[in-house]
């Protein structure tokens, strides 16, 4: 994200961060080093968390009342990192106060809420962005680039596993916590919306949201996406296989250096010598290649992008519409889970906006 | 498998092997070293394959006509390792000829065929056994033992991935080739039959059987099993996670030495101090332990067991009934695939036979 | 490290940190959270580094002149994290000013310097401690415990590899940077001093210190230690094998969860049935076990230990004497390198102080 | 190894294999499928081993007296896979009988013996070849090719570890068993002979040869080779790092698919802006690449090469001279071990023959 020089004379964008629990400190840390941004204040209901924020960032204001931030003229934008059930109300209040808004994923609890937020952002002419972190990672961007350049050929499948021990959340189930990453990645790298979803899930703690789930997404093409998520795994897994007609990818986010591997492997299909009705399947294996990826933290790229969109009046890559499509899929998956895997159709967007690359 | 001494005076069981392609040589190699067995003859339609059998085992007879084996009085039992579509006819003919029969998995193409074979075996009073290899592996036996001793506590989930590049089969899809292993393992280690199945699958070679599939099995308990199989993966994967309330297992069949790892990890649930309506979830992590497993090849154990069942008139561990239940699940999965994941109920066995351990 | 309650009424130990480059920020971060410590000031020659310290810790004083710290009565102790060539002078000045001193490894450039520092610390009755971080890690402490409890039996070997790309240092070679860790670990877990050392090394950047080296340490027993260090490796390696007569350990510091694995493997020796002059060697393989390790950061334990030693007037675990023995071995290794591996005897300590465990 | 068509009309080379223990069966299996070869007979002192050979290869003659083979006119060549202490006498007798000879590594117990064998082979005008298996592997050949094409730039180091539990040998120590592989690989890929060797080793079974050893080889260039071998390791390791000025390689022989990885990593050296006397070292990281390797077994290539050399009267790649240089290094290493690492010079070959590639 290069910011052209003439922006440097503009006043810095004043940022307030609401929620200083697990993710909030990461937002503060990254906005603190973003050129063109200035953190004005931090809000959290818990004074102990505010105290720890003060130790680390003593020059920054703090409050337990987020409304104080909305009344503060120095605050141009708010970044919301609170429990999911509070996203809608906080984001709506901020938009109504004319603030630009960045919301941690998922954007809200329902697609109706997201539509409402989108309408409000449009009416106020402010930026509404959702924190789909993975589409700002060097690994996912490289994968999108390879797919875009037809390196993989036709995409046959996307197979992803996200598993670890914890953190069980009380207000959303495991697909709203973990599968949301894959759904935003799929959208970003494939530029396509699935036609239907089949999902199954189960809870192993009575009265708690489902902690293990599987989602299958069906597309117009023969591509199928499958996502396996688990809060109760003895080992952490973050693995995605992407199969194409020309090449295949293994993306392992836990690898320190070779996160993305490209395999020149696949099958070849030819008509059998014995019978035109019979196909002969051959196997092809070539070199393996792992592209070097820059070390830049995704959230840093994302913070820069948010500030840039505010300054230039641009739509962000992960805008309300992309957040909406993710949530529509999560809602459909929820219906399929209730029906033990029965497929549920997905509403198709009127017009499919193509993602544009972020510099 | 200890064979008591008084059996040693019995004449050796004469074995014929039908099919000398991929799996047949393994059968021959293992029966050749099984005490109490003697390989009489090998049959294959392809003279080139028979020639290679002769090079390795020159004293053994051979024929391109399996019927010659059935007419041969020296043949007490046949082991069938041919394409799936031929299993039923070959097995039926062998049973009708009064031979004991071992069939490569899956036992037949339909549950109706299996019922027919079971009836015929009972009528002839001969052994009918299906080659569910994995339940004879030291790893799976150790897992069953740990579950039986309540080391894992309540079983929460079974999550398995079997993926590799190839071998595409022309007469069955990937679940009949690979998921069949997991279904037989689940049956063996959990001693339970699922109530329903939801499955999805897709083919990437036009006109060919599905090469990628996912299966969810629902049980009476909160346990859920999920099986992911793929003939089009850039890397080979054979990984099974089994989560329990007390401990969790990672079984990786590609590991040379630590195939089974037992993790003392999990969640603890307690009532929150703040509210009796709120549960507090804690995380627990202890030592990891990998039991030493004997190096004995599964097929060797299986060959001994087949011979022992013939000599003692015992039911094999992987008998017709266990083969039947596997195929009933595969059939239900096929129906669910046709309906894009809609759950299909599974016929419940009248009486649930418990597996008995093999010495 | 438990600090008994009656210490809590004492005034906090005032700490100054000299050097805010690579390691200094870690010292500040850990002393900042150490009960009974208070960071008074930070010193660095580079104003830019001090500025970054101020951003993170605004309440803490700063100076580019370390002498100002020594004149400051609020400073009871200094922690030195500067280039090795400056250790001696800085530490000596601090001791002479009556400050307790913690020095990053290696303690100084020569054993003569270390002896001088030890004498000065004794004269002033202050604590002199060297930052041998690894002996404060849960992994190394667990290994020491297992060896102490005779779980491994007689120790046969210690084989360690530390390799990565960079960081080339200009004032010390790779053994003073990386092998120093192993030498301090060996001392700590084996409570023994080697008799002699053979080492080889080479530099691949003309005029620069050696970037790749191997060290063999010979002990009174048949135990041999070997250390391989490399600044020019394409992948990072931190692996130590420890072989014993009863069990063997693989300690991989890059593993996130199973850093220490204990293998029940080894050889058995028996007299051959054929000849009393011939030994029969058998192989033994049992379970593998990975003990759960607490997640506490080593430097946090170390900071607490330093403060506790100051308050209680105790000798630290990694005192001047342990730093001295490490440097005597490094010096002997240097001589052996100059002679292409010719063995150099190591001065034996008059009395071998046993390490005492840290609570 | 392509054999040109006009050879196919020649009579097959008659092969006898002496020794049917661990390695002998591999020789038989590979010569059995080598075009232009015919196994005539197998010899072993142990009738039980001969019996097992007969079961597998019934058409092949057998004898417990190797002299019978030497008198047999059908035997053109012998392949020797017996304990090291017998290599010299068996090979010499075979050469004297006019047979071509392939000997398992190491070629003999002393360099004097090797010289004697070489002279005898020259006198009789027969082929003398040593079984340095690794130089016939696709992985090592690819590495040699990459080095030859200057892909790695100047070679900085060769770092190899070969460790496992067993097999302890009674007549040679671990370097004659395992390091011999690395020494032959180094010779083959670097086409250079070291100037000196420093080695250390220790035995943990009283009265038995050393079971753990380290060898450093010094070259004219700044390249250093280091070999670590261990018969008493809890896990099997076969890892070689090769560092070059342009690229670096990790060769892991236990990897099933990515045995050779090429890293575009290294350091850059530039003169510091501050001082012409100061060098600035930078770090460079690019893509990683793993070339696809053919699946052909090394011993198959080797068997073909032996037969081809016999038929064409060519010198084999791993001829007596290459075996001699390996043993001279092993002898020097032995002297260094006796002197605890003191460097021992290596005799330089009068003329350094360059290895020629094998098709």
CATH number for the domain that contains residue B14 = 3.40.50.720
What is the C-alpha separation between B230 and B162, in angstroms, rounded?
A: 6
Residue A160's closest chain B neighbor by CA? B228
Q: Is C165 within 8 Å of chain A by CB?
A: no
Of C131, C155, C183, which marks where a domain is finished? C131
pLDDT by residue (tens digit) across D114-128?
A: 999 999 999 999 999
Buried b or exposed e, range D218-240, using 16+ CB within 10 angstroms: bbeebbbbbbbbbbbbbbebbbb
Which residues in B lie closer than 8 A to residue C258 (C-beta atoms)? 288
Would you say A299 and A17 are in contact if contact means Cβ atoms under 8 Å apart?
no
Backbone angles phi, psi at D90, to 5 degrees: -65, -45
- % residues pLDDT > 90 (chain A): 80
Whether A157 and A269 map to the same domain: the answer is yes
Would you say A101 and A80 are in contact if contact means Cβ atoms under 8 Å apart?
yes
Higher pLDDT, B135 or C171: B135
The single-letter DSSP state of residue A25 is: H
Q: Do A166 and B283 touch (CB under 8 A)?
A: yes
Residue A234's closest chain C neighbor by CA? C257
| A320 lies in some domain | no
In chain C, which residues have pLDDT < 70?
A: 1-8, 55-56, 58, 273-278, 350-359
Which residues in D lie closer than 8 A to residue A287 (C-beta atoms)? 289-292
Q: What is the pLDDT of residue B354?
A: 46
Which residues in A lie closer than 8 A to residue D283 (C-beta atoms)? none
Q: Do B156 and A224 touch (CB under 8 A)?
A: no
Please say if the pLDDT value at position A2 is more than 50.
no
Q: Do C214 and D214 touch (CB under 8 A)?
A: yes
Q: What is the ipTM of this complex?
A: 0.91
- Three state DSSP letters for chain B: CCCCHHHHHCCCEEEEEECCCCCHHHHHHHHHCCCCEEEEEEECCCHHHHHHHHHHCCCCEEECCHHHHHCCCCCCEEEECCCHHHHHHHHHHHHHCCCEEEEECCCCCCHHHHHHHHHHHHHHCCCEEEECHHHHCHHHHHHHHHHHCCCCCCEEEEEEEEEEECCCCCCCCHHHHHHHHHHHHHHHHHCCCCCEEEEEEECCCCCCCCCEEEEEEECCCCCEEEEEEECEEEEEEEEEEEEECCCEEEEECCCCCCCEEEEEEEEEEEECCCCCCCEEEEEEEEEEEECCCCCCCHHHHHHHHHHHHHHHCCCCCCEHHHHHHHHHHHHHHHHHHHCCCCCEECCCCCCCCCCCCCC
Token pair 């230690």: residue: C225
* Cβ-nearest to B58 among D58, D256, D257: D58
Whether C125 and C74 map to the same domain: the answer is yes
Would you say A303 and A27 are in contact if contact means Cβ atoms under 8 Å apart?
yes
Whether C144 and C115 map to the same domain: the answer is no
Whether A106 and A242 map to the same domain: the answer is no
Q: Is B291 within 8 Å of chain C by CB?
A: yes
How far, CA to CA in Å, does A44 sit from each of A101, A224, A299, C347? 17, 42, 21, 61
Q: What is the pLDDT of residue A170?
A: 83
Number of domains in chain D: 2
Q: If you average pLDDT over residues B231-251, what whole number do you get?
A: 97
What CATH number does residue B166 fall under? Answer: 3.30.360.10
What is the C-alpha separation between B194 and D127, in angstroms, rounded?
A: 67
Q: Do C58 and A56 touch (CB under 8 A)?
A: no
Handedness of CA C231, C237, C238, C243 (dihedral sign): negative
Which residues in D lie closer than 8 A to residue A285 (C-beta atoms)? 292
> Considering chain D, what is the average pLDDT of its residues?
91
Tokens, residue A249 = 């990818």
What is the C-alpha separation between C179 and A283, in angstroms, rounded?
A: 47
Q: Is C204 within 8 Å of chain D by CB?
A: yes
Which residues in D lie closer than 8 A to residue B53 (C-beta atoms)? none
Q: What is the pLDDT of residue A54?
A: 78
Whether C236 and C196 map to the same domain: the answer is yes
Please say if the pLDDT value at position D91 is more than 80.
yes
Q: What is the pLDDT of residue C49?
A: 92
What is the C-alpha separation between A75 and D147, in angstroms, rounded?
A: 60
> Considering chain B, what is the average pLDDT of its residues?
91
Please say if the pLDDT value at position D221 is more than 50.
yes
Interface of A with D in 248-287 (CB under 8 A): 257-258, 264, 285-287
Please say if the pLDDT value at position A176 is more than 90.
yes
Min Cα–Cα distance to chain D from C56, Å = 28
Identify the band that residue A174 occupies on the pLDDT scale cut at 50, 70 and 90: very high
Q: What is the pLDDT of residue C157?
A: 97
Q: What is the pLDDT of residue B359?
A: 37
Counting one residue from A and one from B, how many pairs have CB atoms under 8 Å apart? 158
Which residues in A lie closer than 8 A to residue D285 (C-beta atoms)? 292
Which residues in C lie closer than 8 A to residue A256 (C-beta atoms)? 236
Answer yes or no: pTM beyond 0.80. Answer: yes
> Considering chain A, what is the average pLDDT of its residues?
91
Q: Do D248 and C234 touch (CB under 8 A)?
A: yes
| B195 lies in some domain | yes
Would you say B152 and B246 are in contact if contact means Cβ atoms under 8 Å apart?
yes
Q: Is C350 within 8 Å of chain B by CB?
A: no
Token pair 């990565």: residue: C164
Min Cα–Cα distance to chain C from D341, Å = 5
Min Cα–Cα distance to chain D from A223, Å = 27
Q: If you average pLDDT over residues B115-140, what whole number do you get?
A: 97
| B143 lies in some domain | yes
Whether A230 and A341 map to the same domain: the answer is yes
Please say if the pLDDT value at position D191 is more than 80.
yes
Q: Do D202 and C196 touch (CB under 8 A)?
A: no
Whether C106 and C146 map to the same domain: the answer is no
Q: What is the pLDDT of residue D1?
A: 42
Q: What is the pLDDT of residue B107?
A: 97
Mutate: best of B38, B51, B56, B60, partner D, most D CBs <10 A:
B56
Which residues in A lie closer than 8 A to residue B170 (C-beta atoms)? 278
Whether A148 and A170 map to the same domain: the answer is yes
Residue B33's closest chain D neighbor by CA? D55
Judge residue D300's burial from the number of C-beta atoms within 10 Å of its C-beta, 0-12 exposed, 13-18 middle, 19 or more buried.
Answer: middle
Per DSSP (E only), the strands in chain A are 13-18, 37-43, 61-63, 77-80, 100-104, 128-131, 155-165, 196-202, 212-218, 224-230, 232-244, 248-252, 260-271, 279-290, 344-345
Whether A142 and A129 map to the same domain: the answer is no
Min Cα–Cα distance to chain C from D235, Å = 8
Q: What is the pLDDT of residue C357?
A: 44
| A218 lies in some domain | yes
Which residues in B lie closer than 8 A to residue A215 (C-beta atoms)? none
Would you say B170 and B176 are in contact if contact means Cβ atoms under 8 Å apart?
no
Q: Using alpha carbons only, give the angle C159, C160, C165 rounded to the nearest 5 degrees.
A: 150
| C350 lies in some domain | no
Q: Do D205 and C157 touch (CB under 8 A)?
A: no
Whether C213 and C249 map to the same domain: the answer is yes
Would you say B290 and C289 are in contact if contact means Cβ atoms under 8 Å apart?
yes
Min Cα–Cα distance to chain A from C287, Å = 19
Q: Do B59 and D56 touch (CB under 8 A)?
A: no
User: Which chains are within 8 Å of A by 3+ CB pairs?
Assistant: B, C, D
Of D73, D104, D134, which marks where a domain is finished? D134
Residue A59's closest chain C neighbor by CA? C58
| D307 lies in some domain | no
Q: Do D288 and A285 touch (CB under 8 A)?
A: no
How far, CA to CA in Å, does B78 sit from each of A95, B65, B72, C343, D303? 76, 13, 11, 68, 38
Whether D28 and D123 map to the same domain: the answer is yes
Q: What is the pLDDT of residue B347?
A: 85
Tell me which residue of D131, D135, D51 sits closest to D84, measured CA to CA.
Answer: D131
**Which of B172-181, C7-16, C128-137, D145-154 has the lowest average pLDDT?**
C7-16
What is the C-alpha separation between C119 and C121, in angstroms, rounded?
A: 5
What is the C-alpha separation between B40 and B50, in angstroms, rounded?
A: 14
| C85 lies in some domain | yes
Identify the band that residue A59 occupies on the pLDDT scale cut at 50, 70 and 90: confident
Of D134, D161, D192, which marks where a domain is finished? D134
* Cβ-nearest to C216 among D170, D200, D232: D200
Which residues in B lie closer than 8 A to residue A241 (C-beta atoms)? 163, 230, 233-234
Q: Do D339 and C343 touch (CB under 8 A)?
A: yes
Distance of CA B199 to the CA centre of its chain: 19
Give the largest Cα separation in chain B, rounded: 79
User: Which domain covers residue C204, as residue numbers?
Assistant: 138-298+326-345
Q: Is C296 within 8 Å of chain B by CB?
A: no
pLDDT by residue (tens digit) across B94-105?
A: 999 999 999 999
* Cβ-nearest to C269 among D205, D266, D336: D205
Identify the band that residue A277 occupies on the pLDDT scale cut at 50, 70 and 90: low
| A244 lies in some domain | yes
Please say if the pLDDT value at position A184 is more than 90.
yes
pLDDT by residue (tens digit) across B77-90?
A: 999 999 999 999 99
Whether A170 and A231 map to the same domain: the answer is yes
Contacts of A63 (CB under 8 A, 6+ apart): A41, A42, A43, A50, A69
């Amino acid at each position: 994200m290069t910011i052209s020089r003439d922006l440097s004379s503009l006043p810095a964008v004043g940022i307030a961060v609401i929620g200083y629990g697990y993710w909030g400190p990461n937002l503060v840390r990254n906005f603190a080093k973003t050129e063109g941004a200035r953190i004005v204040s931090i809000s959290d209901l818990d004074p102990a968390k505010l105290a720890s924020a003060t130790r680390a960032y003593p020059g920054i204001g703090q409050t337990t009342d987020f409304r104080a931030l909305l009344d503060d003229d120095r605050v141009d934008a708010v970044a919301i990192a609170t429990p999911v059930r509070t996203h809608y109300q906080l984001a709506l209040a901020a938009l109504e106060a004319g603030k630009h808004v960045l919301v941690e994923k998922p954007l809200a609890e329902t697609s109706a809420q997201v539509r409402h937020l989108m309408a409000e952002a449009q009416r106020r002419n402010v930026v509404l962005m959702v924190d789909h972190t993975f589409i700002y990672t060097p690994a996912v961007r490289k994968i999108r680039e390879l797919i875009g350049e037809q390196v993989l050929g036709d995409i046959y499948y996307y197979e992803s596993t996200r598993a670890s021990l914890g953190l069980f959340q009380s207000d959303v189930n495991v697909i709203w916590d973990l599968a949301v990453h894959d759904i935003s990645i799929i959208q970003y790298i494939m530029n396509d919306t699935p036609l239907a979803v089949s999902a199954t899930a189960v809870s192993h703690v009575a009265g708690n949201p489902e902690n293990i789930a599987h989602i299958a997404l069906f597309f117009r093409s023969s591509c199928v996406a499958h996502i396996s998520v688990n809060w109760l795994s003895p080992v952490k897994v973050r693995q995605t296989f992407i199969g194409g007609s020309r090449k295949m990818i293994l993306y392992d986010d836990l690898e320190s250096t070779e996160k993305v591997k490209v395999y020149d492997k696949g099958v070849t299909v030819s008509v059998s010598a014995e019978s035109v009705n019979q196909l002969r399947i051959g196997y092809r294996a070539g070199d393996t290649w792992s592209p070097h990826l820059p070390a830049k933290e995704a959230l840093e790229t994302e913070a820069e992008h948010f500030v840039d969109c505010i300054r230039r009046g641009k739509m962000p890559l992960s805008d309300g519409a992309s957040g909406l499509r993710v949530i529509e899929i999560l809602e459909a998956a929820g219906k399929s889970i209730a029906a033990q895997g029965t497929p549920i159709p997905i509403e198709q967007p009127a017009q499919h906006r193509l993602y544009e690359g972020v510099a």
